Amino acid sequence: MASDNYKITFEEFDSLFEKLKNWGRWGNDDELGALNFLGDADVVEAVKLVKTGRRVTLGRPLDTLAGPDNGHPALHYMTHMGDKRSDEPTYYTDFIGVDFHGKSASHMDALAHIAYKGLLYNGKPAGEVVVSTGSSFAPISRLAKGVVARGVLLDAALARGVDWVEPPAALGPSDLEDIAASLGVEVRRGDVALLRSGQMARRRALGPWDPDQSGVGLAVTALEWLAHRQVALLGGDGDSDARPSPVEGVGAPVHVLAINALGMCLLDNLDLEALSAACAEVGSFEFLLVVAPLIVPGGTGSPVNPIAVL
């Protein structure tokens, strides 16, 4: 379904923003947002989902090649190449650097990543808490313990019987209902919901394109569906936003509603192809998910390599 079918006005978007706001729900100084829905007991139940011990990576390799979806290629070079010393051993070392917010690197957005009308989640003035050295409010380092939770794969491509959902497309609440029903899975409180549109399969088959111009993601109304179910974390093989944006004047409305209104961190640019195959093979689309961001003091996010355990 094309994004045009989900267009709403700026005024309608603002009303939805106010309706979904979790500001103050867990206190005015809360920095966890929707991750408050994920408790210790939920972690224990998630661990019980492991049946075979099969592990699946959801991260994409760091991409050092420029392209339409990779305007800031990652850096990787060797710093020592078996340099001789006076004694053994010799050393091989390397450097990596990545401007990870974008369309190529698998990463986690912290709540400090998105401001709307000058305010971060919980109404914190962005200009006061985010400075040149990073953010003093809700940086990624607050999540140093990581996220261990029940993951649910909402596999839109598989549910529709296609290799991928062709962009541009926006998936609304009824689409999510249909996908969940088709796969026999239920989205619950404290879950990590992962949306697979098959965009990595499309990229491998047809080559890269600019997802800022044509992308698959969620309709803004889908955020109500996720909020009602008290989802703790949202991710996908895109960045969760459908493009072109269905809201004039708001370039990434799902980012605004998720991160800023709901306090829900995002997992962007995952590779969900191997997970899709594994889930289809075992006949279950729920699993243990482990996400461990780097501990970057003041960071607005971090590269990640989430691991699903079936």
Q: Residue 34 sits in a domain of what CATH number?
A: 3.50.30.50
* pLDDT given at position 5: 67
Q: Is residue 73 part of a domain?
A: no
Judge contact between 288 and 50, C-beta under 8 A.
yes
Q: Is residue 55 part of a domain?
A: yes
Phi and psi of 91, rounded to 5°?
Answer: -125, 140
Q: Distance between CA 258 and CA 93 in Å, rounded?
A: 39
Of 301, 305, 307, 306, residue with least CA distance to 99 = 301
In one-letter notation, the amino acid at residue 76 is H
Q: Is residue 160 part of a domain?
A: yes
Instruction: Name the H helices within the chain.
Output: 10-20, 40-47, 126-129, 156-160, 173-183, 199-206, 222-228, 253-255, 273-282
Q: Is residue 304 part of a domain?
A: yes
Q: Distance between CA 236 and CA 214 in Å, rounded?
A: 16
Q: Is residue 91 part of a domain?
A: no
The CA angle 138-141-142, to the nearest 5 degrees, is: 50
Residue numbers in the chain where pLDDT is lower than 70:
1-5
Q: Is residue 134 part of a domain?
A: yes
Which residues lie closer than 8 Å to 133 by C-beta, 6 or more apart?
A: 298
SS3 69: coil
Phi-psi region of 207 (alpha: psi -120 to 50; beta: other; left: phi over 0): left
The tokens for 114 are: 């998105």
Q: Is residue 74 part of a domain?
A: no
Q: Is residue 83 part of a domain?
A: no
Which residues lie closer than 8 Å to 214 by C-beta, 6 or more apart?
A: 167, 168, 243, 244
Q: How many domains does the chain have?
A: 1
How deeply is 280 buried, as exposed, middle or buried, from its count of CB atoms within 10 A (0-12, 13-18, 19+)? middle
Phi and psi of 277, rounded to 5°?
Answer: -65, -40
* pLDDT given at position 1: 43
Domain around 197? 3-67+100-309
Count the Cβ atoms, other than its own, within 10 Å of residue 7. 16
**Predicted TM-score of the model (pTM):** 0.96
